Structure 1
């Protein structure tokens, strides 16, 4: 019997998988909004937020008194630092706090990646909002302002010019930034030609699986529209380059075991390391990997966290698997396509629509917002474009739109690139 502590927020699949195992005695630290994911009788501690490491430590100490744990599973963006902290605090194997912080604190991440000689966009820490004009003078205009913590495109802004920087000091954007309770960093604005992701499984510091994929368009250009990607064949030139960068970043940050999700940008300056996380990817990517390679990244995350053997039999692939995230505009849904209409399109292997008529979204929209997922197989890269166009033709979503946001404040970074 393995005694496991799960520190979780938004990753339901991991909680369900752990509860289904008879060889695990599970304890959980959760936030209030996720309690119905866990069976009655689960050894459960509730904290207001897992971002507060003191609250997590106190909860872990209470659990430790009644159910000592030997492993920590931390599957969400916000639980990664907490998981590393608890491992270091109790001397438990797995990614330490230093490693977990390097995979979740974007400023520390970029420091370590740059120190290893890997290519990154120029960046700097932002200590106060009063520095925003000086930052633009240093990095150039426009530049990207973001929270050091958080996943996807959440709390990412493009600061256009000095007047725009000054306008951030009032209104909606200031309130959002002030509520973050997080360090900020700025990066030079990069004109992105192509964006890639690489998803891996790491055992004993080495990638036993790494798959490179190309986004249909740069993610921050796609907010509010279609976000998706397609896997690259094993012999694709970009695949070799991206997977090599992945392995070098993993080494630079010191991950012993776990799963990874890396973003790589291609620009006029070549390939730049974006960000990497030691958790499963979001959106349709886990399903994409499972359909294309037979790799369940949720299972791999659990296995690498609790010392289970990782046994992968990955086939060689020469075709393309597309994950197409259906757009979800702001407003109240008045009509949406049926799954059957999309399932009838050529190459479609899977359709899941998670939005229904009457659902309301107030915004703002980031990369975690979508109406459903479609998986499509294509034989060639040209066919990727054709099959995506067919889904776009068939998909319909109507909303009763409402005005959102303050146009005088910083815009989300959908204009980047």
Structure 2
């Protein structure tokens, strides 16, 4: 355990950071250690399994997806040491409700229960958008196949099915006509049930949305603080095609960065959901001047987006996120809009089969700033349907002014590098294991 000196000097208080121990969120730990005057504490069911946990002052042993278990661990730590949290900061999606529970118990700044109800359920989210005039797809709820058929009768095909409680494309699938409903229902439900034990999800919570035609999709990263809102960056998404629409990577700055209508829609979406603290990740479909908000997450964007903003614009978004949850800002800072370069992340995909070997790549180009492997020997390289299919990650960055950069050409170079690295990193066999990864 850390020395208690810093904790005592800080009034027996510490910052609790939830979810920054996983890949592509570790820079949240750096920000917390840099900006907070006392100990920074993490939480994990198995603290020894993530190397990132070594950088916390201490790690509480608990499941940070489980609000009851997490709060019990914080209370037990207080009884043992006399230390109490004075800030609870969520970094990933499934820690948002946990942060609200712990912060509410201790009377700390956090999102409201009304906000939580809107951001953690895609149905109440869509209803809030409709009431506020935020453009979004029409939708209906279903739990069973007969209910799905009835819901489809009230909508216009094509449709998109998805679980109400999760992100990362898990269970998302396009349906072109009524004949595809049974297979699509099975896919949506089975995908959710695969991860349900990890997150305590319940069966039967799904929705169908009308498919929105779009040329591309972006995300808008928004800072929120006590009624103030500002756009940090616009991110272009690299997507796989129908029927799964899997995210393959991210690029900053997006060619849509100066689209003022887009930026305003993102701000309006956060206001509709009552997000008044920390960062939010707003996903929007773009088709000319027509916009449709897909969903909003009340936490920093994933997939290395925060790291890209840091490289491209020269500041850490986590600093703003943490300061807002600490309640130490009077107003949001002025945020730079002039990029100093262009950056992208792309997820690596091994060929189909069982991963037999994972190799090391020692020589990288000057553009490549990070190369990680996710797949392990014995894993099945499943089809590219959701975040579960990611086998590795490549991050690239190049200095330059906007008039010197070609985002399309840069993305093409990064995509080509990703294919090369995947071939170098992974040897697979054609034999599939009995159960996929």
For the superposition of Structure 1 and Structure 2, which TM-score range results when normalised by the shorter chain?
Answer: 0.7 to 0.9
Whole-angstrom distance in 2 between the partners of 1:313 and 1:124: 40
Corresponding residue for residue 301 of structure 2: 281
Cα distance, 1:244 vs structure 2: 0.7
Question: Cα RMSD (Å) of the superposition?
Answer: 3.7
Q: For 2:314 and 2:278, how far apart are their aligned partners in 1?
A: 17
Equivalent in the alignment of 2:324: 304
Deviation at 1:225, TM superposition (A): 8.3
Distance 1:294 1:312 in 2: 14
State the TM-score, normalized to the length of structure 1.
0.80
When residues 270 and 405 of structure 1 are mapped into structure 2, their CA distance, relative to the original with a 3 A threshold, is farther
- The DSSP-based 3-state class of the residue aligned with 1:192 is coil
2:224 equivalent in structure 1: 202
CA distance in 2, matches of 1:316, 1:22: 26
After the TM superposition, which residues 8-87 of structure 1 pair with which residues of structure 2 at under 5 Å, given as runs? 8=19, 10=22, 11-15=25-29, 17-18=31-32, 23-32=37-46, 36=50, 37-39=52-54, 44-47=59-62, 49-65=63-79, 66-87=82-103
Report the Cα distance in structure 1 between the residues aligned to 2:375 and 2:75, rounded to whole angstroms.
45
CA distance in 2, matches of 1:333, 1:377: 37
Q: Judging changes above 3 Å, is the alpha-carbon distance between structure 1 residues 216 and 50 closer, same or farther for their aligned structure 2 residues?
A: closer
208, 222, 228: which one pairs with 1:186?
208
Match in the other structure for 2:349: 328
Gaps of 5+ in 2: 1-9
Shift of 1:128: 3.4
**Residue 94 of structure 1 aligns to a residue in which SS?**
coil
Match in the other structure for 2:156:
140
Distance 1:215-1:29 versus aligned 2 partners, 3 A rule: closer
Q: Output the CA distance in 2 between the equivalents of 1:337 and 1:380.
A: 36
Q: The residue matched to 2:93 in structure 1 has which SS?
A: coil
Structure-2 separation of matches of 1:276 and 1:87: 22
Does the 8 Å contact 1:87/1:95 carry over to 2?
no
Conservation of the 8 A alpha-carbon contact between 2:278 and 2:325:
yes
- Where does the alignment leave 5 or more consecutive residues of structure 1 unmatched? 407-417
In structure 2, what is the Cα distance between the partners aligned to 1:29 and 1:216?
Answer: 32
Give 1:188 shift.
Answer: 1.3
The residue that corresponds to 2:16 in the other structure is 5
Match for residue 258 of structure 1 among 278, 289, 293: 278
CA pair 340-226 structure 1, distance change in 2 beyond 3 A = farther
Counterpart-to-counterpart distance in 2, 1:19 and 1:89: 24
TM-score (norm. length: structure 2): 0.77
Residues 222 and 233 of structure 2 are in contact (CA less than 8 Å); yes or no, is this contact kept in structure 1? Answer: yes
Aligned mates of 1:355, 1:392 — CA distance in 2: 16
Preserved contact between residue 252 and residue 309 of structure 2 (Cα < 8 Å) = no
1: CA distance between counterparts of 2:213 and 2:207? 19
CA distance in 2, matches of 1:341, 1:142: 43
Maintained 8 Å contact 1:142/1:160? yes
Number of aligned positions between the proteins: 397
CA–CA distance in 2 between the matches of 1:322 and 1:51? Answer: 31
